Amino acid sequence: MASKRHVRRNTCDGKRAHQTVEDARVAMGKLYRKQIFRQMLNVYRCPFCAHFHVGHPPRKKKKRGEFK
C-alpha cells in the first residue's frame, strides 16, 4: 500500500491548481488544442489541496479474483 505522502505527490506535484471547475476546463481545452495531450483527460477536485486539477481518468479497479 502506498503512503499518503506518495499518493499526494502523484496527485498534486507537477499539476496546476485551478480555483474553479470552469478554469480547469478552459485549461484542459487549451491542452487539447495545442495537442500536448491526445489521451482522455478529465477535471477532478483534489482531496489534498481542495483545488481542481486536469488529469487522466482513474484506472478501473479489478474485481477480486479477476485476472488479466
Q: pTM for the whole thing?
A: 0.66
Residue-level pLDDT at 10:
67
Q: Give me the residues paired with residue 18 across strands.
A: 52
Provide the pLDDT for residue 9. Answer: 67
- C-alpha torsion sign, points 10, 33, 17, 21: negative
How confident is residue 8, by pLDDT bands cut at 50, 70 and 90?
Answer: low
Higher pLDDT pick, 7 / 31: 31
State pLDDT tens for residues 13-65: 778 899 999 999 999 988 888 876 677 888 999 888 889 998 887 776 656 66
Is 48 in contact with 13 (CB distance < 8 Å)?
no
The span from the CA of 45 to the CA of 53, in Å, is: 6
